[in-house]
Amino acid sequence: MFSSRCSGSLRLLLVGVLCASGCLEGDPEQLLDVALSVDLPEVVRSSEPFEFAYRWDPGDRFESTGHDYLVFVHFVDAEGNIVAQDDHALPVPSSEWRSGRSVEYRRWFRFLDPIDVEHVDVVVGLYDDEGRASLRDFARPDYAVVGRLEIRLDEGRGIPLRGRGWYKLERSPTSSELWHWLGEQATVVFANPRRDAVLHIEASAPVPLLGSPQRVMVYLNEVEIANFEISTEDRLRWRLPATAEELGEGEFVEFRIATALNVVSSEVIPGSVSDRRLGLKVFYLHLGEG
């Protein structure tokens, strides 16, 4: 998946009774014996998604505390500032973990805001509503540094240049998140990288409003390269590879995204007067390295 990797393998002893950072005086009531391995790339581009692989291994001495922890993942610059984070829920709740049963999963991540640093440290730990779980045998008890990412600026490569069929750009009222809606179809044009590449799509479909799963087709220079069904309103990500031969010899390359179903806002949303036909809500498009 990556051109180069580094892997961190850590033995974590997690204190079962949560307390403030540094609260490790005396003997803890219960220790969680868990090993964490994180497979991460050494180098990432500032605007391209990248993937982490996590593996949690409850050891022989593992005993559940009954807590359903969340994972915090912080990207920290050289001055100690958190420049981004990817907190997430575990695919198997930690209250259900058992000795000898590994919990493995992969997660994609991209920086939502511009990152203008040379590298970041990746910090991982566990927490719940009561605070962070305490980890022993580290410089700090409440997190572990699992690796360092070198950040390379993209200098505009892989960013959409233009397109047709999109509704106007929208912005979240509570964050810097942006998106475009498309109805039946829309196109997007990139500069041709003239090498193998990957089209990254991050989107969601209005499945509850449609009343059935959405079918999405993606075309490269009018040749279908992907056809998939979306059965949830959750935000999803796709990686669609394209060879240099498929991209062609032109200066630009055009992708077309089409939906099988769409819904008129005013027909399904009480109080709406919009006649927009909605098919897919697209947060991110990027033509990255293959």
Q: In the structure encoding, which two tokens stand for residue 25, read together? A: 């005086």
Confidence of residue 61 (pLDDT cuts 50, 70, 90): confident
**Are 216 and 225 within 8 A, CB to CB?**
no
% of the chain at pLDDT higher than 90:
59
Residues pairing with 272 in the sheet: none
Residues pairing with 258 in the sheet: 185, 217
**What is the pairing mode between strands 43-45 and 144-152?**
parallel
CA angle 228, 230, 234 (to 5 degrees): 140
pLDDT value at residue 250: 94
- The rounded distance, in Å, linking the Cα atoms of 145 and 82 is 13
CB-based burial, 169-188: b 16+ in 10 Å, e otherwise: eeeeeeeeeebbbbbebbbb
pLDDT value at residue 173: 85
Residue of 266 and 23 predicted with greater confidence? 266
- The rounded distance, in Å, linking the Cα atoms of 210 and 246 is 33
- The rounded distance, in Å, linking the Cα atoms of 105 and 54 is 5
- Which among 261, 221, 216 is positioned nearest to 236, based on CA atoms? 216
Residue with tokens 């009222």, as numbered in its chain: 173
Mean pLDDT confidence for 44-61: 87
pLDDT value at residue 59: 81
Average pLDDT for the chain: 84
pLDDT value at residue 120: 95
- Which among 203, 185, 206 is positioned nearest to 267, based on CA atoms? 206
Residue with tokens 């984070």, as numbered in its chain: 85
Residue of 129 and 199 predicted with greater confidence? 199
Question: What digits encode the pLDDT tens for the residues 21-34?
Answer: 333 333 343 456 78
The alpha carbon dihedral of 288, 91, 226, 4 has a sign of positive
Tell me the one-letter amino acid at 214.
Q
- DSSP 8-state secondary structure symbol assigned to residue 95: G
Question: What digits encode the pLDDT tens for the residues 180-228?
Answer: 999 999 999 999 999 999 999 999 999 999 999 999 999 999 999 999 9
Of the listed ranges 26-35, 67-76, 105-114, the one predicted with least confidence: 26-35
Residue of 65 and 213 predicted with greater confidence? 213
Longest dimension (CA), the chain: 69
Of the listed ranges 21-35, 136-150, 164-178, 236-250, the one predicted with least confidence: 21-35
Mean pLDDT confidence for 25-54: 76
- The rounded distance, in Å, linking the Cα atoms of 204 and 274 is 20
- The rounded distance, in Å, linking the Cα atoms of 53 and 7 is 9
Confidence of residue 164 (pLDDT cuts 50, 70, 90): very high
pLDDT value at residue 16: 37
Residue-level length of the chain: 290
Of the listed ranges 63-72, 85-94, 130-139, the one predicted with least confidence: 130-139
Domain architecture of the chain: domains with CATH: 5-152 (2.60.40.10), 170-289 (2.60.120.260)
Residue 77 DSSP SS3: coil
pLDDT value at residue 246: 95
Q: In the structure encoding, which two tokens stand for residue 210, read together? A: 């449609």
- The rounded distance, in Å, linking the Cα atoms of 40 and 5 is 6
- The rounded distance, in Å, linking the Cα atoms of 262 and 268 is 11
**Are 234 and 281 within 8 A, CB to CB?**
no
